[in-house]
Chain A
Amino acid sequence: MIVILLVAWYVVGYVISLPPTVPQASAAGVTNVTVQTVASYGRPPHPDWVSYLVKNESGQWVHSTIWKVPANSIVRVTVLQYDGQSGLRNPFLGQPRGVVGGTMTVNGKPLKVLNPDEASHTFTIPDLGVSVPLKGIADDAPNQCAVTPCTLGQAHYTITFEFRTGKPGLHRWQCFVPCAAGWLYGFGGPMQTVGWMDGFIKVV
């Protein structure tokens, strides 16, 4: 009996474990996605874990990395980058790829390549060939964000880029910077859990 309950408990636990899918509003073939990256989520279940948050259609911050965007459209991503610098293990990923026009901007200025030491995260969708490095704020920046969701008044970089979605499908995205402090090679915990530094893009 105990065993059956135990089994039932963990089966149910697994099935309901994916974070919610957040649909993104689009107009005239362009979808605006606004996300923020934070050094620590600050809430249960893992207050110390580095994470992404995303704005839903009504403009509220949601803790999820599964986003729904329309097919054959352009996605314009705005990243509010509140996390510090960790450094890339593979400096090759410091160059933006697969973005519309081949460029991205940091605080409005175009960026050709990022010094690998300054990277905080990358936003990479390997299936679509999209990879963008996200510059981290300096360690001694004033007014750093401590509680999520972070506000525009706190230290951050505003990073923008656009990519094309193509045909309908399900694509994984992830971060390539070993930003999970505390794990060997920085690649445990949030780096290997959907909802933190990994997610899906549902192209429909």
Chain B
Amino acid sequence: MSHTETPAPATPAAGRSGILTFNLLWGLVGLVVGYAIGLWIGHRMGSRFDWVAETDYNDVAILIGYALGTLGYLFGLGILNHPIARMFGRSGGDIAKSSTGWSRYARASTDHKVIGNQYLIGIGIFFFIGGLNAMLIRTELLHPNSPTFSPGQYLTIVGLHGAMMIMMVSSIILGPFGHFFVPLMIGSRRMAFPRLEALSFWLLPLAGVVLMSTIAYGGFPTGWTGYPTLGSQADSGMDGYLVAFALVGIGMILNALNMLVTVFNHRAPGMTWARLPIFVWSMLTTSVLMLLGPPMLLAAVVMEMLDRTSGTAFFSSSSGGSPFLWENLFWFFGHPEVYILALPGFGIVLEILPVFARKPLWGQRLAIAGMLGVTLLSFMVWQHHLFVSGINSSLRPFYMFTTELISVPTGFIFLCGIGTLWRAKIRYTVPMLFALAFFFNFLIGGLSGVYLSDVPSDVSLHGSFFVMAHFHYTIMGGLVFAFFAGIYYWLPKMAGVELNERLGKIHFWTTFVFFNSTFLPLFAVGMLGMPRRVATYAPHLQFLNDWVSISAFLLGASMLVFLANFVWSLLVARIPAAANPWMARSLEWQLPTPVPVWDFDGPVRILAGPYEYGNPAAPPVMELGPPIVAAGD
């Protein structure tokens, strides 16, 4: 049984104020200054290499620039203050939780609630930029052979869409909801490592800026997978892609460590593993994947940086390396990454279902077993991305089997969903609608995945739009629908205001209809022989492609409905939300809205599980001890 940590006093905002405060503005200044210094050093070093002069680019300088820029940015944000203070033997101070004013969102905060909201805004922005790129892609594909964009820029748009969505948006649930609600749901007053938490968030916008900066260097042609030889040939935009992916990878590892330690060590007394909410379980399993996958990615990215700058040949077969090395390292990270995107979705929908079904979560242990099974199996399937790449052909039956096997634990989630809804008392609120649509979309995504796991079938579908439709059904239809379920469910607690329900329902129905109308035809397009990431296609596929493009534009428009709802509810209407509008039992809803700075007023004791609906004998979910008097108050 774990304990609640000795609470730190609620100290006021850090001493500095005015222009000299460490904040985002100074972070950006540090970024620019560091980048300029790095570029200067790199040009001094690199100008002796012939190839630097002939390519008009100096990859060494750009990489050093990005590295020093990162340092300057972190320094400007004040994230390095504590390590520097400790280096000089000073205490570095307690963990402060400043909670006043909008300016706290532009600082390195150590309040998990502020960080959750920062994630929401940050990832939201990247999600919309990524979505905008998707609109540009669909514009290009309106016509079979009439380029709207130059072919090189089309590839950059494709790459930016993929990289934005996979890198930046991969924490769309763990970021906002994980940080805000995991401590509240387990009865803790903070995450285990609040300073680390700040660092792992602030790496994300930096990675986004680095990724966007690739445009200035001619973009990158490789899509989000960055396959080598092409990646080694590419212009300096590729360096930005590598640096951004490295920053995201480091952020993921830090996030995962923090989350694991928090859930293991910071549970309140009485929060047994059996009472742990299913959402926390999903965060736990996601964190295991985030801890073990990204180190492989980092290794691959560093090798590629060396190939591009130092003349090593890890991925160049003519000099003794092999592109297969990248393919294996990348997909050893890449496939768990796919489940980093799926598991939080399972967690949210199973968390929401009991609340609006007014029934306990049916088969909770089976659901947990499903998540653990997915976590374990996801490290054993990566070579299905390489079925036709020329890997040893006797390995393929094994990977075919493991890939198909992973549908068994995924199936558990569906059984638990049906079981929870059976003989329930269902309320059709907006979060519930999104959670239900998640099951429908993920079902199609999962079943189409079986085609891709079966080698003979995969031979005709590999690398086609079928694959693209498949993973959009699992990621867009799964993760993003779960995210919207989460935001309609939890935003009243996070922001303290209600979202407009009518606009929410319009948003749901337009998104659901146009999502399916966009991606369902793409299965057919792929089966009829259209490869991914192309700017041209066979003329007889134009009708289907135009249908998809128009649906995609309407899907984009439905996102504007959400944006309007979000901005209007948050900035204009500002109707204060009730403390527990959904009458949910779980711990986070027992707190007042807005949530106090130090979350819980006294030591928390958990008395019952969060899903005891329909059980009149169940005690309240928690009781609070006497308030903690902060030392010195």
A and B pair up: yes
Chain A interface (Cβ within 8 Å of chain B)?
A: 3, 6-7, 10-11, 13-15, 17-18, 45-49, 169-170, 172, 180-185, 187-189, 192-194, 198, 200
The complex places the Cα of A10 from the Cα of B316 at a distance, in Å, of: 33
> Main secondary structure on chain A at its contact with chain B?
mixed
* Inter-chain contact A181/B54, CB cutoff 8 Å: yes
Instruction: List the B side residues contacting A182 at CB < 8 Å.
Output: 50-55
* Inter-chain contact A188/B235, CB cutoff 8 Å: yes
Instruction: List the B side residues contacting A194 at CB < 8 Å.
Output: 150-152
CB-nearest residue of chain A to B308: A184
Chain B interface (Cβ within 8 Å of chain A)?
A: 50-57, 125, 129, 132, 136, 145-153, 156-157, 212, 215, 218, 221, 229, 232-235, 307, 316
> Main secondary structure on chain B at its contact with chain A?
helix
CB-nearest residue of chain B to A194: B150
The complex places the Cα of A123 from the Cα of B563 at a distance, in Å, of: 50
* Inter-chain contact A192/B221, CB cutoff 8 Å: yes
* Inter-chain contact A46/B56, CB cutoff 8 Å: yes
B82 to chain A, nearest CB (A): 28
Instruction: List the B side residues contacting A3 at CB < 8 Å.
Output: 125, 129
Instruction: List the B side residues contacting A47 at CB < 8 Å.
Output: 56
* Inter-chain contact A189/B149, CB cutoff 8 Å: no
Instruction: List the B side residues contacting A184 at CB < 8 Å.
Output: 229, 232-233, 307, 316
Partner of B218, one of A48, A183, A193, A200: A193
B137 to chain A, nearest CB (A): 12
A40 to chain B, nearest CB (A): 8
* Inter-chain contact A48/B56, CB cutoff 8 Å: yes
B50 to chain A, nearest CB (A): 7
The complex places the Cα of A45 from the Cα of B236 at a distance, in Å, of: 14
B148, B218, B233: which has the most chain A beta carbons within 10 Å? B233
* Inter-chain contact A188/B234, CB cutoff 8 Å: yes
Instruction: List the A side residues contacting B307 at CB < 8 Å.
Output: 184
The complex places the Cα of A35 from the Cα of B51 at a distance, in Å, of: 27
* Inter-chain contact A18/B145, CB cutoff 8 Å: no
29 contacts between A and B (CB under 8 A): A7-B129, A11-B136, A13-B215, A14-B153, A14-B156, A14-B157, A15-B149, A17-B150, A46-B56, A48-B53, A48-B56, A49-B56, A170-B146, A170-B147, A181-B51, A181-B54, A182-B50, A182-B51, A182-B52, A184-B232, A184-B307, A188-B55, A189-B56, A189-B235, A192-B152, A193-B152, A194-B150, A198-B151, A200-B147
Going nearest first, the 7 A-B pairs with the smallest beta carbon separation are A182-B55, A182-B51, A182-B54, A188-B233, A184-B232, A181-B54, A18-B150
CB-nearest residue of chain A to B234: A188
The complex places the Cα of A181 from the Cα of B57 at a distance, in Å, of: 12
* Inter-chain contact A17/B149, CB cutoff 8 Å: yes
B50, B56, B218: which has the most chain A beta carbons within 10 Å? B56
Given that A10-B215, A14-B153, A194-B150 are contacting pairs, would A185 and B136 also be in contact in the complex, using a CB cutoff of 8 Å? no
Instruction: List the A side residues contacting B148 at CB < 8 Å.
Output: 15
CB-nearest residue of chain A to B145: A170
* Inter-chain contact B56/A10, CB cutoff 8 Å: no
The complex places the Cα of A180 from the Cα of B57 at a distance, in Å, of: 13
Instruction: List the A side residues contacting B146 at CB < 8 Å.
Output: 170
The complex places the Cα of A198 from the Cα of B151 at a distance, in Å, of: 10
Could you list 13 further interchain pairs (A-B, Cβ under 8 angstroms) beyond the known A11-B132, A182-B52, A185-B233? A7-B129, A7-B132, A13-B215, A17-B153, A18-B150, A45-B56, A49-B56, A181-B51, A182-B53, A183-B55, A185-B229, A192-B234, A194-B151
B414 to chain A, nearest CB (A): 38
* Inter-chain contact A14/B55, CB cutoff 8 Å: no
The complex places the Cα of A14 from the Cα of B55 at a distance, in Å, of: 22
B154 to chain A, nearest CB (A): 9
B206 to chain A, nearest CB (A): 14
* Inter-chain contact A187/B233, CB cutoff 8 Å: yes
Instruction: List the A side residues contacting B232 at CB < 8 Å.
Output: 184
B509 to chain A, nearest CB (A): 28
A65 to chain B, nearest CB (A): 11
